[in-house]
Amino acid sequence: MPKSYLTEADKAGMSENCVFLAESHAAYKAGDHEAEWAWLAKAELPAHALRAAKRRNGADWIRAKGLRTETAERAYGKDWLERDI
């Protein structure tokens, strides 16, 4: 697990995915960008957000970040990173 910046009380009532996003936010606030992205890589991100980032930065950037891409694969097809979408 990446370094945690949240207490159990902070995470109370949050879904697992929400905890990942909240941890990423807390790491970002702490200036720990490695943990910020490591937590983001654990989160399920919306397909449209992944597509937008791919359009801005390219497929290799998405791969290098190690982001989970199953939402985009469901929405745009398994080969969404190889195709122009």
Partner 1 sequence: MAKTGLNETFEGLFFREDGLMTEVGRTPPAELLRETRKELLEHLKAVGKSGDLNTILAIERSFLQNDLDRHANSTAMTNSLKAALAELDAAEALHKKVQDPAAYKATDDDHSLPRNRVGSLPKDQARQFFSSHAARLLSQDKSRLEPEEKSLVDARKANMRAGEKVYAALQREALGIEAKSAKGRDRGMGL
Task: Kindly list the residues in this chain that would bind partner 1 in the complex (CB under 8 A).
Answer: 15, 17-18, 21, 24-25, 28, 33, 36-37, 40, 43-46, 48-49, 52-53, 56-58, 61
The residue among 43 and 81 lying less far from partner 1, judged by its C-beta, is 43
Between 9 and 33, whose beta carbon lies closer to partner 1?
33
Q: Which residue has the tokens 């989970």?
A: 68
Residue 61 or 78: which CB sits closer to partner 1? 61
